Amino acid sequence: MIAALRDLGAVLITGGAGYIGSHTAWACLDAGLRVVILDNLSTGVRHAAPPKAVFVEGAVEDRDLVHEVIRTYEVGAVLHFAASTIVEESMVDPDKYHRNNTLNSFRLMEAIASLGGMPFILSSTAAVYAPSPQGRLTESASVDPVSPYGLSKLRAEQLLAGTASVFGFPYLAMRYFNVAGADPLGRTGPSARSATHLLKVAVQAALGLRPTLPIHGRSHDTPDGACVRDYIHVSDLAQAHVHALAHLAGGGASGVVNCGTGRGASVLEVVAALEAELGRALPTTNAAARLGDVAYAVADETKLRQLLPDWTPRYEDLGLIVRSALAWERHMLAHAAI
């Protein structure tokens, strides 16, 4: 076990039955930590939570429940993933995003603060940044979210910074770029029924679960006209959370940090990587650009590497990301869990 984690007690993972949360739960267990998951199963699925984790069904904004869980399981740190995460949905139902991502996160922070505070890691997003011309985004790039989703997360970040400074506990807000792929050991993956993220939709099209992959927008201001994103493998990101916990438990600095690879791939390049893996063409159609989509979002990940010097991403290659996503969808299909 990483030395700084030895005295941490259990970690509370909200949203641990969701995509990134379940991968992080596995990564924490693999690192020798005890894990307690709090999830209301609104989008998460019960079987995504690792069997060795304690599972509590409930709401992050339920202060009494949070207090009971923390006391019962001797929780020493919080990883807060539970959130609504679809940019386009946030454009049509912004209230849901402000309620779930800002207000309910704040209630969780208050519950933690009222117990004296503890290391707190917030899932945040690159969607907090103002759209930028091509170029990698550092943490000091201007923040001005295009979508209510980005705004709801930015507000949560700000509330966390304020609460943590008043109550004196360490925190990191981790700004995820595009998270993709599935656990290479096949223990979890993107399990939600509804699929809006590129690779999940693409893999479903590849397996005949949907007729085609719509390519949203071909005339963006990018080299091939398709949107460019920075795809980070979910297991690398999960492992980064373990190191982030160690960073905070070891007295490391609080703040915001980008989580990406520093490399961009366009929608067409993702399609090409999947086609190379499949050995055949993917059915695609050109579709209108999506509401709230920025053309280009790639991380400058210098700070991440400085903060977490012992973290070594293992699956940065797009081919590995695509392969694990495909394997997971085939697994889902074989188990008729879709």
Site membership for ligand UDP, residue 322 (CB under 6 A) = no
Rg of the Cα atoms in the chain: 19
Nearer to ligand UDP, 109 or 180 (CB): 180
H or E, element range at 125: strand 120-125
Query: Distance between CA atoms of 56 and 23, rounded to whole angstroms?
Result: 17
Residues in the chain: 338
DSSP reduced 3-state for 108: helix
Q: Helices 234-249 and 19-30 sit at what angle, rounded to 10 degrees?
A: 60
Listed in sequence order, the residues at least 6 apart from 15 whose beta carbon sits closer than 8 Å to its beta carbon are 21, 39, 44, 80, 81, 82, 83, 123
Residue pair 53/25 in contact (Cβ under 8 Å)? The answer is yes
Interface with ligand UDP (CB under 6 A), residue from 98, 136, 216, 243: 216
Site membership for ligand UDP, residue 59 (CB under 6 A) = no
129 is catalytic: no
Site membership for ligand UDP, residue 218 (CB under 6 A) = no
| CA 43 vs CA 6, 114, 252, 253: distances in Å | 32, 28, 33, 32
**69: amino acid identity, one letter:** V
How many binding residues for ligand UDP (CB under 6 A)?
A: 15
Site membership for ligand UDP, residue 259 (CB under 6 A) = no
Query: Distance between CA atoms of 279 and 263, rounded to whole angstroms?
Result: 24
Interface with ligand UDP (CB under 6 A), residue from 43, 101, 102, 178: 178
Interface with ligand UDP (CB under 6 A), residue from 267, 273, 325, 326: 267
| CA 34 vs CA 107, 226, 278, 311: distances in Å | 24, 43, 39, 20
Site membership for ligand UDP, residue 269 (CB under 6 A) = no
**CA–centroid distance for 154 within its chain:** 15
Residues 279-318: x where in contact with ligand UDP by CB under 6 A, - otherwise, as a string: -----------x--x-------------------------
Site membership for ligand UDP, residue 196 (CB under 6 A) = yes
Nearer to ligand UDP, 80 or 197 (CB): 197
Site membership for ligand UDP, residue 184 (CB under 6 A) = no
Q: Choose one: 31-39, 101-109, 195-203, 232-240; the region binding ligand UDP (CB under 6 A).
A: 195-203
Listed in sequence order, the residues at least 6 apart from 190 whose beta carbon sits closer than 8 Å to its beta carbon are 19, 182, 197, 200, 325, 328
Q: Supply the minimum distance, in Å, between the C-beta of residue 201 and ligand UDP.
A: 4
- Number of C-beta neighbours around residue 193 at 10 A: 9
Nearer to ligand UDP, 192 or 201 (CB): 201
Q: Which residue is nearest to ligand UDP (CB)?
A: 227
Q: Which of 19, 149, 176, 315 is catalytic?
A: 149
Site membership for ligand UDP, residue 87 (CB under 6 A) = yes
Q: Supply the minimum distance, in Å, between the C-beta of residue 89 and ligand UDP.
A: 10
Q: Choose one: 28-36, 102-110, 213-221, 273-281; the region binding ligand UDP (CB under 6 A).
A: 213-221
Nearer to ligand UDP, 184 or 225 (CB): 225
Q: Choose one: 42-50, 106-114, 214-222, 232-240; the region binding ligand UDP (CB under 6 A).
A: 214-222
Q: Choose one: 22-30, 116-124, 128-136, 190-198; the region binding ligand UDP (CB under 6 A).
A: 190-198
Q: Choose one: 182-190, 191-199, 232-240, 315-323; the region binding ligand UDP (CB under 6 A).
A: 191-199
DSSP bridge partners of 231:
178
Residue 37 CB-density burial (10 A; 0-12 exposed, 13-18 middle, 19+ buried): buried
Under the rule (CB under 6 A), what is the footprint of ligand UDP?
Answer: 87, 178, 196-198, 201, 213-216, 227, 229, 267, 290, 293
Residue positions annotated with a catalytic role: 149
